[in-house]
Amino acid sequence: MATKTDGTCYFLGGSSVDLILEMNHIPLPDEKVLAQFSGMQAGGLVSNTACAAARLGLPSAWAGVVGDDEGGRLVLSEFERFGVDASYTQILPGARSDFCVIMLDSSRERTILVVETTKGMPDLTPALLDQLECARLVYVTPQKQALYASIAETVHRGGGQMAIDVEAGNALNAQELDFCISNADIVFTNRAALERRAAGANLEEGARHWLNMGASLVIATLGAAGAAAFRQGETRSQPGYIVPVTDTTGAGDCFHAAFLFGLLSGYSLDDALVFSNAAAALSVQKLGARPGLPNIEQVRAFLAGNPLTTKID
């Protein structure tokens, strides 16, 4: 059994295989467009975050479901390459792994088609629950109440933190999502998701609403404008960096991993935001979610050449 001193962060579910297509423009209804196939890469918002965290030096583990196909083998080989412990992966015989079709237009804007072919989340076996109870932090997307409650209760019983990624397109109803937010310590989101899910409130009002529900910290990514973090009685924001953009796929996942690294390393909110913006700026300069994921030395070098008002030691 793992122990709390391991400091491991666990990432649950949210894995896929990304099929990347490049084209002049995204097709309109009943339109045929010539596309270029630019590769197949391991992806998925949670597993991307796990790889980004491991790349920065956080001890990271992933548990989820893949098929026994080429995609599943690619997913597992990528976890091994990035140093993510995938010991608790469940492999489904005869199943196709979840996949996404990512369409990039000439302006580098993207459209993503998500195809879920497995149940995604792992079974909460006694062995996995033992791991989660010893985890320093567990990162997951919002889930059905019974499943999320089991995870959160286990993590909090062991003294760990729950972090969730709330997107605008999350399929949960309002009551289920509210339950997840109320039982999370850290909530990652973006402007669209926060304003949509917080009863039409603006950014700060929405964040305060979620804090009053029980979250300890809300972090919102704001695209080129940077990011903001909210605690009770505290609001911090930092601008983004202007860099050449090749592909924004996975930039938010990289940001989340970098913020967790900063937070767990004792950074202030300002320093964590600066560090995370820098990591995300590096990630968007390569095609795909993972080729641009930086290590700690690369982020520090970027910050040295692009100073803001804070300094990361």
Q: Is residue 226, in this structure, part of any structural domain at all? A: yes
Q: Is residue 85, in this structure, part of any structural domain at all? A: yes
Q: Is residue 2, in this structure, part of any structural domain at all? A: no
Q: Are 211 and 232 in contact (CB under 8 A)?
A: yes
Q: For residue 312, what pLDDT band results from cuts at 50, 70 and 90?
A: very low
Q: Is residue 312, in this structure, part of any structural domain at all? A: no
Q: Is residue 310, in this structure, part of any structural domain at all? A: no
- How many domains, the chain? 1
Strands 217-221 and 227-231: antiparallel
Q: Residue 309 pLDDT > 50, yes or no?
A: no
Average confidence (pLDDT) over 238-262: 93
CATH of the domain at 277: 3.40.1190.20
Which tokens hold the place of 74? 């690619």
Q: Is residue 200, in this structure, part of any structural domain at all? A: yes
- SS3 at position 293: coil
Q: Are 144 and 152 in contact (CB under 8 A)?
A: no
Torsion sign across C-alpha atoms 122, 126, 129, 130: negative
Q: Is residue 31, in this structure, part of any structural domain at all? A: no
- Using one digit for the tens of pLDDT, what is the confidence trace for 204-228? 888 999 999 999 999 999 988 899 9
Average confidence (pLDDT) over 269-280: 96
- Using one digit for the tens of pLDDT, what is the confidence trace for 61-71? 999 999 999 99
Average pLDDT, the chain: 91
The domain of 55 spans 8-26+36-305
DSSP codes joined into one string, 145-177: HHHHHHHHHHHHHTT-EEEEE--TT--S-HHHH
β partners of residue 140: 164
Percent of the chain past pLDDT 90, that is, above it, reads 77
